[in-house]
Amino acid sequence: MFEQLIDIKERKKLLEDRLSDPDLMKDPARFRSLAKEHSQVSKLDSLYSSYRQAQEAFAANRQLLNDEEDEEMLDLIRTENDDLQERIAALEKDLRLALLPKDPNDEKNVLLEIRAGTGGDEAALFAADMFRMYSRYAEDKGWKVEVMSSNPIGIGGYKEIIALISGDHVYSQLKYESGVHRVQRVPATETQGRVHTSAVTVAVLPEAEEVELNINTSELKFDVFRSSGPGGQSVNTTDSAVRVTHLPTGLVVICQDEKSQHKNKAKALQVLRARLLDRLQEQQHDQISSDRKNQVGSGDRSERVRTYNFPQNRLTEHRINLTTYRLDAVMMGHLEEVIEPLVLHFQTEALKSQSQ
pLDDT tens digit sequence for 170-224: 999 999 999 999 999 998 777 778 898 999 999 998 887 655 566 788 888 888 8
pLDDT number for residue 286: 62
pLDDT number for residue 166: 94
Residue 234's pLDDT band, with cuts at 50, 70 and 90, is very low
pLDDT number for residue 211: 52
Separation between Cα atoms, residue 281 and residue 301, nearest integer Å: 14
Domains of the chain listed by start with CATH number = 3-99 (1.20.58), 110-211+299-355 (3.30.70.1660), 213-286 (3.30.160.20)
pLDDT number for residue 156: 87
Separation between Cα atoms, residue 9 and residue 14, nearest integer Å: 9
Type of residue found at 163: A
Whether residue 105 is predicted with pLDDT greater than 60 in this model: the reply is yes
For the ranges 84-88, 124-128, 236-240, which has the lowest average pLDDT?
236-240
pLDDT number for residue 24: 87
Mean confidence (pLDDT) of the chain: 84
Separation between Cα atoms, residue 6 and residue 179, nearest integer Å: 42
Element (H, E) at 329: helix 327-331
Rounded mean pLDDT, 335-347: 91
User: pTM (2 decimals)?
Assistant: 0.69
Sheet containing 241-246: order of strands: 220-225, 241-246, 251-255
pLDDT number for residue 292: 34
Residue 97's pLDDT band, with cuts at 50, 70 and 90, is confident
Cβ burial of 6 (10 Å; 0-12, 13-18, 19+) is exposed
Tell me the residue ranges of DSSP E strands in the chain: 110-116, 144-152, 158-166, 179-185, 196-206, 220-225, 241-246, 251-255, 304-309, 314-317, 322-324
Separation between Cα atoms, residue 43 and residue 316, nearest integer Å: 35
145 Cβ contact partners less than 8 Å away, ≥ 6 residues apart: 134, 135, 138, 139, 163, 164, 165
pLDDT number for residue 289: 45
